[in-house]
Amino acid sequence: MRKVAIDGETLTIEDVVAVARNDAEVEIPQKTRKKVTRCRHILEEFVKEKKVVYGVTTGFGALGSVKIPTKDIKQLQFNLIRSHASGVGKPLDRDVTRALMMLRVNTLAKGNSGIRLKTLETLVHMINKGVHPVIPEKGSVGASGDLSPLAHMTLVMIGEGEAEYKGKKMSGREAIDKAGISPVELDSKEGIALINGAQMMTAVGVLAVYDSETLIRTAEIATSMSLEALSGISDAFDEKIHHVRPHPGQVESAKNIRSLTAGSKIIQSSEAVMKMKNRSPQDPYSLRCSPQVLGTARDAVAYARRIIEIEINSATDNPLIFPDDKECLSGGNFHGQPIAVAMDLLGIALTVVGNISERRMARLVDENLSEGLPAFLISGEVEKGIHSGYMSVQYTAASLASENKALAHPASVDSIPTSANFEDFVSMGTIAARKAVEILRNVEYIVAIELLCAAQGIDFRGSDKLGKGTKTAYSVIRKRVPMLKEDRASSRDIETVVELVRNGELAKAVEATMTQKKW
C-alpha cells in the first residue's frame, strides 16, 4: 500500500487524493517528529513563564482579553471544542472527511502550532485505521478557519461526537475504542491548534480541482466529437491563430482538439466548405470559440491548483510559534479568502464549460442547425413524431446549466460579522467550495449528455471516418450505451456515461491512444 510521508512542506494534491480516495497510509518521518516536539517545548516554556498567549492563557475571539488561570488552561481547550461543534446539515462525504483530516495533520506537522506529538499521532491513527468523524457540511463562515467542521473532527479525538467506522455510524468513543485508539486529553493550545484553519474548504477544493482537471479534458473530447458530429470546420483550431493570442489554456485546448480529431474524414477546411451550397465558411461560436472558452477554464483551474498547493503546505492556526526566534505571534493565516476567491473562480469557469457544452448539444438535436442530422437525432427510418429521440436530454442539460448560473454567484463577496463584531470580515470560503463542487457535478452531467448526443450524431456520419482520439472515445461510449434507435428511458444512459466522465475512464482511454500524453 502506498504511504504518504508528512512534513508540512511537500504535500501534493495527488497525495491528498491518494489518502482521501485510495486509503493510502499516512506516516510521520523522524524529522517531522523532531520539529513538532521542539515547537511544543517552546510553548510549554511560555506557559511556565506565564506569558500572555492568545488562546492559551486567554479566552477566544471577543473573549481574548480575558485571562485564564493556569488551573483552567486544559479545560479551556475542551470547552472550545465542545462549544464550536455547532455544524448542521448532512455529513461530509468520506473522501472529503479523510482529506480534511490529512490536511490538518500536514499543517500541524510544519512545527508552528505547538501541538504534542502524541496528539498529532492520534489523528494519523484515525486516518490509517478508518475512523471517520461525522462532520456536518454547513456552519462555517471561513474566517477563523473552518472552526465548526474541525471541532466535530476533534470531538472524536477526545472520545465524543460521532464517527463512521467500518461502514457503521457510532459514537466517537465507541469508534476509537474499536480501532484501538486512546482518546486525547487536550493540553494547552491543542484545541485551538486543531480547529483554527481552512481545512474543510481546502479539502473540498483539493478534490474539486483534481476532478475539474479531468472534466476539462473530457469536455475537450466532447467538443471534438461534436465538431465531427456537426461536420465542423478545422480552421478555428489552427495553431497560428492561437499563437497570436497565446493564453496558455487556449493554446493547450486548441492543440488537444487538433490532436483528438487528427485523421478525421468528416471535418474540413473552410476552403472545402465554401464549395458547398448554403454553407457558411465559419462555424458558430460554440464550436469555433471552444478553445478560447475551454482554455479560459483551463487557466482558471490552474490558478485554483496553484492556490490550493500553497494552502495545503501552510501553517494556518493562530497564534503561531516560531521556535528559532522563540516567538509566539498572532495573525490571520486562518482566513479563508485565498481559497474563497479560487473556488468562486473555479465555479464560474466550470459554469461556462457547461453553458457552451449545452449550446453544442442544442445544435446537435436541432435539424435546422445540425448540418443534415435528423431531428432530435432519431433515425428517419422510424415514423417522424412517434419517437422523441434526444429531445428531453437537452431539457435536462438546460436545467443544469441554468441552475449553475444561480450557483455561480460568488460567495466570497459576502461577509457577515461574527463573535460580537470582533471577527468583522469573513471569507465564506467553505460556501464557495461547496458551490463549486455542486457546479462541477452538474457540468459532469452536461458533458455526459453532450457525449451521448455527439456519439448519436456520429452514428449518422459514420464512425469509421473519425479522428484517432474521437474514435476511441466513441468506442468507449458505445461499449456501454447502444445507439438510440427507438425511444427508451435516457436516465440510465446518462448515468452510465457520467460515470465514465467522473472516474476519468473516458479521458484515460483516449489518452492511452494518443501520442500526446496527459493533456
- Sign of the alpha-carbon torsion through 372, 373, 379, 382: negative
Give the residue among 389, 360, 503 at the shortest CA–CA distance from 456.
Answer: 389
**Weakest mean pLDDT among 70-79, 101-110, 408-417, 493-502:** 70-79
Taking Cα atoms as reference points, which of 76, 93, 60 lies closest to residue 334?
60
**Catalytic site includes residue 210:** no
Mean pLDDT of 488-504: 97
**Using omega within 30 degrees of 0 as the cis cutoff, is the peptide bond preceding 319 cis?**
yes
Mean pLDDT of 371-383: 82
CB under 8 Å to 399, separation ≥6 — which residues?
A: none
- Say how many C-beta atoms besides its own lie within 10 A of residue 472's C-beta: 20
d(CA 495, CA 473): 17
Whether the CB-CB separation of 191 and 78 falls below 8 Å is answered with: yes
For the record, the C-alpha cell of 411 comes out as 460567495
Cβ contacts of 20-24, under 8 Å, gap ≥ 24: 20/95, 20/96, 20/98, 20/99, 20/102, 20/203, 20/206, 20/207, 21/95, 21/98, 23/98, 23/130
Q: Do residues 48 and 24 touch, judged by C-beta distance below 8 A?
A: no
At 515, the pLDDT band (50, 70, 90 cuts) reads: low
Q: Give me the pLDDT at residue 144, please.
A: 84
Find where cell 498572532 sits: 330
Binning pLDDT at 50, 70 and 90, where does residue 363 land? very high
pLDDT tens digits, residue range 5-18? 999 999 999 999 99
Residue 288 pLDDT greater than 80, yes or no:
yes
Can you read off the three cell numbers belonging to residue 127?
486516518
Which three cell numbers, joined as nine digits, stand for 77? 481547550
Burial class (CB in 10 A: 0-12, 13-18, 19+), 464: exposed
| 375 pLDDT above the threshold of 60 | yes
Alpha-carbon Rg for the chain in angstroms: 27
Given a contact cutoff of 8 angstroms between Cβ atoms, the answer to whether 143 and 423 are in contact is yes
Q: What is the arithmetic mean of pLDDT over 27-43?
A: 96
Position 382 pLDDT exceeds 70: no
CB atoms within 10 A of CB 210: 21
3-state secondary structure at position 180: coil
For the chain, the distance separating the N- and C-terminal CA atoms, rounded to the nearest angstrom, is 28
Residue-level pLDDT at 519: 52
Name residue, grid cell 458551490. Answer: 435
Cα–Cα dist 221/467, whole Å: 11
Give tens-digit pLDDT for 320-340: 999 999 999 989 999 999 999
% the chain with pLDDT above 70: 97
Q: What band does 287 get if pLDDT is binned at 50, 70 and 90? A: very high
**Ordered structural domains, the chain, with CATH:** 3-197 (1.10.275.10), 205-315+324-513 (1.20.200.10)
Question: Is the pLDDT score of 60 beyond 80?
Answer: no
Give DSSP secondary structure letters for 222-269: HHHHHHHHTT-BSGGG-HHHHHTS--HHHHHHHHHHHHHTTT-SS-B-
The answer to whether 116 and 150 are in contact (CB under 8 A) is: no
Helix (H) or strand (E) holding 174: helix 172-178
Task: Note the pLDDT of residue 274.
Answer: 73
How would residue 62 be classed by pLDDT, with cut points 50, 70 and 90? low
Helical H segments across 416-485, by residue range: 429-461, 468-478
pLDDT band at 415 (very low <50, low <70, confident <90, very high): confident
- How far does CA 1 lie from the centroid of its chain? 24
Q: Kindly tell me the burial class for residue 111, based on how many C-beta atoms sit within 10 Å of its own C-beta (0-12, 13-18, 19 or more).
A: buried
